[in-house]
Chain A
């Protein structure tokens, strides 16, 4: 089976600064891969290279076998297959929850209004926010906004989901609801790449844990093993600080 995401020898420079120094990385279909590491380790940049929100300097990114670094590729098509959830939610503040979920379905996927709304309502139900259909994002808590953002990404029927520190901007008591939604999503077999600081989630839900530092993958493996018995000295240092 082709891997959902395959990254080969990925380099990324910001000016003179090399933030990704040759990353090789795969996410198999249906796998949940968690990426951890100190800030500035390049983990978010790696995630953002997967749907080319960041332009890789060199290297190859294959999405379900298709090289998306090829300039000929239809990036909008590729992106509508990859759901993305941001640390800061990024809901559209001038639209209601329902409009947030429908706009890309209608404009990028060319779905009818009726179909888009049906899909949107089903996904809101999934994240437990059916009653917020007509609310504006400003009237929702951070946790609710993030769940709406997840529902928005899911409404495009993506083959995989990218999460960029989805709970880092949340008050501690709101983190649980968002993680519950992600856990359920993983249970349904969604392919997921999650940049996170939630070690508990990584241990419990993750199929693979990747530790990054200084723009390279230092260590990867089964989450429980990496977390309890890290092989590399830098992993040990990082984990001793966060656990």
Chain B
């Protein structure tokens, strides 16, 4: 048999396998049940548009606050980790190891319930605020390591060139090192962003008030009310609508960065 014929046969077999699998799933699935349980028009009408204006909106807001807050704290931690002063390095290392080693859920519960008991006062924003602060605390630990690696990936010659031109240490960091480090860490930071977006679904364990539910909380509440899975499917689609364009944005940013490389 000729080589090309062999390859065509192999490809044909792979396609057949794929079609078979799709057909099997389609045949095995109970379409009627799926429709009544996950694609109920009336249920969808009952949660629309609140699933977007409340659920998705809150998810985006919580994520944005946690990401920006986490990034600022992470930058401070990364710089502490690179500090020539040893105690700063120790503190940053301890912080990072501590928060990376704990489940997010435990940190949220701790911030929402343990901290108010231990210090006799609640954190700003009530239990929801405490949960967002917990997310900031945890995401900062992860992002700090990413940022540190990015800063260290900037070639030493860049710093030497800036210093030899008479630029101060701070000015060198701000104008030369950080802009290049940011370009390096954009892809891993997107990853952090997506993880954080999904972690906002844990905020509900802190207990949130009326109109404060994020997407998962909103969907599961309505799942209970309607005894129907439609809200879950709607929430899943909304998560994807938020996350999928992100990869496009990152691809665009990377292309733009390539220009300057």
Contacts and interface: CB of A to CB of B under 8 A. Distances in A.
A109 B158 contact: no
B167 A84 contact: no
The interface centre, meaning the residue of A84, A93, A153 with most chain B CB atoms within 10 A of its CB, is: A93
Interface stretch (A62-70, A73-81, A187-195, A197-205): A73-81
Nearest to B166: A80
Contacts, number: 72
A241 interface: no
Q: Select the residue from A53, A86, A104 with max chain B CB neighbours within 10 A.
A: A104
A90 B164 CA distance: 11
A53 B168 contact: no
Contacts of B259: 136, 138
B158 A92 contact: yes
Contact of A156 (B165, B179, B183): B165
A135 to B, nearest CB: 10
Contacts of A78: 166
A108 interface: yes
A156 B175 CA distance: 17
Interface in B165-185: 165-168, 171, 175-176, 179-180, 183
B167 A104 contact: yes
Contacts of B183: 94
Contacts of A76: 166-168
Top 9 nearest A-B pairs by Cβ distance? A80-B166, A104-B165, A90-B161, A108-B166, A84-B164, A90-B157, A79-B166, A76-B166, A136-B260
6 contacts: A80-B165, A92-B162, A93-B260, A94-B260, A104-B162, A107-B175
